[in-house]
Amino acid sequence: MTLEVSISHSFGSFKIDADFITGCGVTTIFGPSGAGKSTIVNAIAGLLRPQKGRISQDGEIMFDSSREIMVRPSKRRIGYVFQDGRLFPHLSVAGNIRFGVRFSTGSRSSVEEGDIAEILGLSGLMNRRPGTLSGGEKQRVALARALLSNPRLLLMDEPLASLDESRKDDILPYIERLRDVSKVPIVYVSHSMAEVSRLADHLVVLKMGKVVASDTAQSVLSDPEAMPYVGVREAGAIVLARVLEHERDGLTRLRFSGGDLLLPGVGVSPGLPVRVRILAKDIILSLAEPTGLSSNNILPVTVESVHRGDGPGVAVQVRAGRDSLLSRLTARAASEMQIAPGMSCYAILNATAVPRVSISAARPT
Amino acid sequence: MNLQPEEWAALMLSIKVSTWAMTASLPLAILVAWILARGNFVGKWMLSAFVHMPLVLPPVVTGYLLLLVFGRTGIIGGWLEQIGIVLAFRWTGAALAAAIMGFPLMVRAIQLAIEAVDPKLEEAAETLGADPAWRFMLITLPLIAPGILAGAVLGFAKAIGEFGATITFVANIPGETQTLPSAIYAFLQIPGGESGALRLVLLSIFVALGAVLISEWLSRLVAARIGRR
């Protein structure tokens, strides 16, 4: 799958100029409120006609201003999960999720209604009305409804934004399971780095209507240059690891290309892949191999690049095996240690700094 | 209550005229309400003013205008007569007058219901593959059903009570155009007609009460069906 988006659109003095190409899996569009994220997904869905540009999926043009092509939303086969759910109030849950089935065309979907209802935990809710559902249940119904219309692309515009913090963590695993089962490419809009870090395969970062970064999530999130856009407190690399074993003291041993990590226990069986988000502020660097330290996570690394921002901090990208990590130091520490690309040092990670939600089941490879 | 044949005829005629007036104008009322609620064109206010005209004009003026336009020598009436349709001084003319008088009330009720439907729901249906016709049938129509019902009841009630435009356009012919209000009026014009008028007044109250009860029951049914209970 290839989705090509190249559009420009302005609202008064605010101009959106978005240009990116993405593929299978989950593409997240990240940016602060007002960066133009919803405009872009609405243009992909066909609910908004950009002033200029071109949108195509696998070579099939959905919008091209120069050729006056504008395929109607009902003909695009693009599922849309809205921030506010938008369930039909006069239909039951079953009526809602079956709504799009009668219009679905193309090859039969690989997932059936029963499977989707099962995965999303909707089996017991089928006869309920949307008005009686909780926020999280509503979003799960909206997700099932969009998927059952047999889309070739699924758009999700801040689907968790209207939910409580605790509910968000409940829904993310559902989305992860669907991503793995349905194989439908997903474009996921969010202003939450936590969601992006868990879900993104490809990451598009928007700022003031412009694309400032677009690459695999792993490279963008470990790129010190992108740190200002991500936010210094939220910045952190993601590494793909495998669960080695659950230790007796409640910690879980993970192995990734750069070595082993001992982190808080997670409910993923040994042998299965996990994705770990390691915040830049939780990694400190040491020139010599530290001894007598309270941390068990000490990794030999090589400095790849150093990015000095406007503030007192410095972002350092270090390589551990085939993975990259990001560390944030004070500029003073960096200059005292004479941190420079190519030098070897040790990265230290405090296990308790990594919350359980930062460790999630990854797509099986 | 011993109804005289002509009283019975007036009751049945009133129900026939009102039912026709309401059902025949309902689809057009939905269309006009839709245009007024969702349309975006120059001159929309003129359409709105035209539709609401019968609400503010003296009914006798509306009746006279109907006579001018739909009478046997009128622009439309003359043409209709050539194809065998006569409205003036016929029950069909009474139905036309009742329909026109009730039209603004129906449009108003339905327009409010359409304006209350969130267009975002229709957008959602669109992303699920529904074209405009399906969106209307599956989303908008069920959601505005209570408004349509309210409009229909108002239109029917207005038709039952219509007097001024009707008597001007189609006169007061027993068995043909003499509806309940016309019959009451006729009784009051003759000495000793009060008892006949009183019977028809009671009858009118029964009909009105019945209509209100039926509409109440229907709206509960619809509300339950669309989950607004």
Residues A337-363 have pLDDT tens digits of 999 999 999 999 988 888 888 898 887
Residue B219 has pLDDT above 50, yes or no: yes
Question: Are A45 and B127 an interchain contact pair (Cβ–Cβ within 8 Å)?
Answer: yes
| Mean pLDDT in residue range B176-198 | 91
- For A357, residues 6+ apart whose C-beta sits below 8 A from its C-beta are A169, A172, A194, A198
d(CA A75, CA A117): 25
Nearest-neighbour CA in chain B from A296: distance (Å): 51
The pLDDT, as a whole number, for residue B221 is 78
The pLDDT, as a whole number, for residue A300 is 95
H helices of chain B, in order, are: 5-38, 44-56, 59-70, 75-82, 91-116, 119-127, 132-135, 141-161, 164-170, 180-189, 194-225
| Mean pLDDT in residue range B174-182 | 91
Tokens of A242: 């495998």
Nearest-neighbour CA in chain B from A106: distance (Å): 12
Which residue of chain B has the CA closest to A95? B138
Q: Indicate the pLDDT class of residue B227, thresholds 50, 70 and 90.
A: low
A99 → closest Cβ in B120, B128, B227:
B128
The pLDDT, as a whole number, for residue A107 is 64
Place of tokens 């191999």: A289
Nearest-neighbour CA in chain B from A58: distance (Å): 19
d(CA B174, CA A105): 61
Q: Are A101 and A117 in contact (CB under 8 A)?
A: no
The pLDDT, as a whole number, for residue B229 is 41
Question: Are A89 and B130 an interchain contact pair (Cβ–Cβ within 8 Å)?
Answer: no
The pLDDT, as a whole number, for residue A111 is 65
Among B128, B134, B222, pick the best mutation site for testing chain A contact (most A Cβ within 10 A).
B128
Distance of CA A27 to the CA centre of its chain: 7
B170 - beta bridge partners? none
Question: Are B127 and A89 an interchain contact pair (Cβ–Cβ within 8 Å)?
Answer: no
The pLDDT, as a whole number, for residue B170 is 93
Find chain A residues with C-beta within 8 A of B118's C-beta.
86
A318 - beta bridge partners? A303, A325
d(CA A68, CA A62): 10
Nearest-neighbour CA in chain A from B76: distance (Å): 42
Residue B118 has pLDDT above 50, yes or no: yes
Residues of chain A with pLDDT under 70: 106-111, 365
Find chain B residues with C-beta within 8 A of A75's C-beta.
129
d(CA A134, CA A165): 14
Find chain B residues with C-beta within 8 A of A92's C-beta.
227
Question: Are A146 and B127 an interchain contact pair (Cβ–Cβ within 8 Å)?
Answer: yes
Find chain A residues with C-beta within 8 A of B139's C-beta.
88
Looking at this predicted complex, what is its ipTM? 0.85
Give helix B44-56 / helix B59-70 axis angle, nearest 10°: 110
Which residue of chain B has the CA closest to A87? B121
Tokens of B216: 């109440």
Which residue of chain B has the CA closest to A45? B127
d(CA A310, CA A327): 16
Higher-pLDDT residue of A187 and B72 is A187
H helices of chain A, in order, are: 37-45, 73-76, 93-97, 113-119, 135-148, 165-182, 193-199, 217-221, 227-230, 331-336
Residues from B contacting A (CB-CB < 8 Å) are 118, 120-121, 123-131, 134, 138-139, 142-143, 225-228
DSSP per residue, B93-155 = HHHHHHHHHHHHHHHHHHHHHHHHS-HHHHHHHHHTT--HHHHIIIIIHHHHHHHHHHHHHHH
Question: Are B138 and A99 an interchain contact pair (Cβ–Cβ within 8 Å)?
Answer: yes
Which residue of chain B has the CA closest to A131? B227
- Taking residue B191's Cβ as centre, other Cβ atoms within 10 Å add up to 5
The pLDDT, as a whole number, for residue B35 is 95
Residues from A contacting B (CB-CB < 8 Å) are 45-47, 72-80, 82, 84, 86, 88-92, 99-100, 103-105, 129-131, 145-146, 149
d(CA A283, CA A292): 17
Nearest-neighbour CA in chain A from B89: distance (Å): 45
Among A44, A88, A109, A184, pick the best mutation site for testing chain B contact (most B Cβ within 10 A).
A88
Q: Are A145 and A85 in contact (CB under 8 A)?
A: no
DSSP state of B72: T
- Count Cα atoms within 13 angstroms, Cβ side, for A207: 10
Closest CA to B97 of B157, B166, B17: B166
pTM of the model: 0.85
Nearest-neighbour CA in chain A from B197: distance (Å): 47
The dihedrals phi and psi of A140, each to the nearest 5 degrees, come to -65, -40
Which residue of chain A has the CA closest to B144? A90
- For A161, residues 6+ apart whose C-beta sits below 8 A from its C-beta are A83, A190, A191
Higher-pLDDT residue of B28 and A104 is B28
Query: For B123-163, what is each residue's pLDDT tens digit?
Result: 999 999 999 999 999 999 999 998 899 899 889 989 999 99
Buried b (16+ CB within 10 A) or exposed e, A136-150: bbbbbbbbbbbbbbb
A139 - beta bridge partners? none
Tokens of A329: 């130091």
| Mean pLDDT in residue range B82-111 | 92
Task: Tell me the Ramachandran region of residue A109: left when phi exceeds 0, alpha when psi lies from -120 to 50, beta otherwise.
Answer: beta
